[in-house]
Amino acid sequence: MDGLKAALLLFVASILQVAVLTQYAAFRGASIVLVALLSIALLRGSVFGAIAGFGTGLLLDTATLGTLGVTSLLLTIAGFWIGRYGETTARDRFHAPFLSVAVVTVLFAFGQVLLQFMLGEPAPAGLVADGLPLALLLNLVLTLPIYALARRLFPPRQLEDRIGEVRLLG
């Protein structure tokens, strides 16, 4: 059920991102998809986050007729990493979604530059750096409502559900 809900949420976010958000030059830096994915990864863990990231990246690359796999790779790593953060240190901390979004927004932008560069495509890092402060601000503003929505859709697991995630020594 969680998988279906996540697929629906990320599909809607992707369509909004591609068809609506990019129409407004001022909001182009914002990534509603990235914020939604990180919120889900924080609440549902690394494997869930990685799979969701891969699927969402594939959807975005397909919709824009871009090079398949580029966004998938970045979102898979982002989903996995933030999922791990959620499983370990970030649980129930208020600042966790904001910190995750801030860090991943920066790394995602420069990850794209790196991949473009490695593919031999033009990779003007200066342009990305110029747009980064606005992108960061917009993503942080989006984090509050989107994380709240994700928390309603994916309520934090009870103790007995998540106890298996803790490695017991002895």
Footprint on this chain of another protein (rule: CB under 8 A): 15-20, 22-25, 28-29, 46-47, 50-51, 53-54, 57-70, 72-73, 76-77, 80, 109, 112-113, 116, 119, 121-124, 126-128, 130-131, 163-170
Cα–Cα distance between 159 and 92 in angstroms, integer? Answer: 12
Cα–Cα distance between 140 and 157 in angstroms, integer? Answer: 25
Cα–Cα distance between 109 and 101 in angstroms, integer? Answer: 12
Cα–Cα distance between 147 and 163 in angstroms, integer? Answer: 23
